[in-house]
């Protein structure tokens, strides 16, 4: 198994958003497009990353989870003891992914080579970063008037849509028993990036 297959979440920081398309190509080469990790990608501005770097990342991984995800369920006698134990464990899956690859009504399609969610041991969910995209059109949501008086600013309406998108992905998860995977109330934490 390739060590990068064990990575289930990546925080990717870019000095400029103009690096996004190029970094996606390198990212795709490294991780592939089959069962990639979830990812949060943020442009932080020139001179922000240490040492003048253009890219920085940190990762969360579970050793052996890449082999588990890619195992076809046959010939477990040839598998490592770690893999055998996790395949035979019917209480929880070591790792599952959710990777929406086409336009939908319920969640935005991935705009890069990543999964919307990676679930570890049927309980800890790593969601990809969400932006205020409308799933059906893949366009950013526009601000609107509230009560005819106050105009909701861009970041407020985009933040609200981001939370709706995150909730939709959580709703789309299944724990294997037919029960939906989670809700925002279950979140332990989250990061919100706002540009000024």
What is d(CA 196, CA 185) in angstroms, rounded to the nearest whole number? 28
Which tokens in the block code for residue 154?
A: 């861009």
pLDDT at 38: 93
Q: How far is CA 154 from the centre of its chain?
A: 23
pLDDT at 150: 60
* Residue owning tokens 């209480």: 91
- SS3 for the chain is CCHHHHEEEEEEEECCHHHHHHHHHHHHHHHCCCCCCEEEEEECCCCCCHHHCCEEEEEEECCCHHHHHHCCCCCHHHCCHHHHHHHHCCCCCCEEEECCCCCCCCCCCCCCCCECEEEECCCEEEECCCCCEECCCCEECCCCEECCCEECCHHHHHHHHHHHHHHHHHHHCECCCCCECCCHHHCCCCCCCCCC
Could you report the per-residue pLDDT of 108-119, keeping only the tens digit for each?
888 888 999 988
Averaged pLDDT in 10-residue chunks for the chain of 196 residues:
87 94 92 89 93 94 82 67 72 80 79 87 87 88 69 80 90 62 80 80
pLDDT at 103: 75
CB 156 within 8 A of CB 192: no
- Burial string for 48-83 (b: 16+ CB within 10 Å, else e) reads eeeeeeeeeeeebbbebbbbbbebeeeeeeebeeeb
CB 82 within 8 A of CB 64: yes
pLDDT at 100: 75
pLDDT at 152: 63
């Amino acid at each position: 198994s390739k060590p990068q297959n064990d990575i289930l979440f990546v925080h990717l920081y870019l000095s400029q958003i103009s690096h996004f398309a190029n970094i996606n190509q390198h990212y795709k080469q490294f991780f592939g497009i089959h069962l990639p990790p979830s990812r949060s990608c943020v442009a932080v501005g020139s001179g922000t990353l240490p040492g003048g770097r253009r890219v920085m990342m940190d990762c969360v991984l579970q050793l052996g989870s890449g082999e588990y995800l890619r195992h076809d369920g046959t010939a477990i006698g040839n598998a490592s003891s770690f893999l055998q134990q996790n395949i035979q464990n019917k209480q929880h899956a070591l790792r599952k992914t959710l990777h929406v690859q086409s336009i939908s009504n319920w969640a935005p399609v991935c705009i890069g080579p990543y999964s919307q969610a990676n679930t570890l041991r049927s309980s800890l969910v790593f969601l990809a970063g969400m932006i205020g995209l409308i799933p059906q059109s893949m366009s950013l949501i526009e601000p609107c008037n509230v009560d005819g008086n106050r105009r909701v600013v861009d970041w407020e309406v985009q933040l609200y849509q981001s939370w709706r998108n995150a909730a939709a992905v959580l709703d789309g998860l299944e724990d294997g028993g037919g029960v939906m995977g989670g809700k925002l109330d279950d979140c332990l934490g989250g990061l919100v990036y706002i540009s000024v």
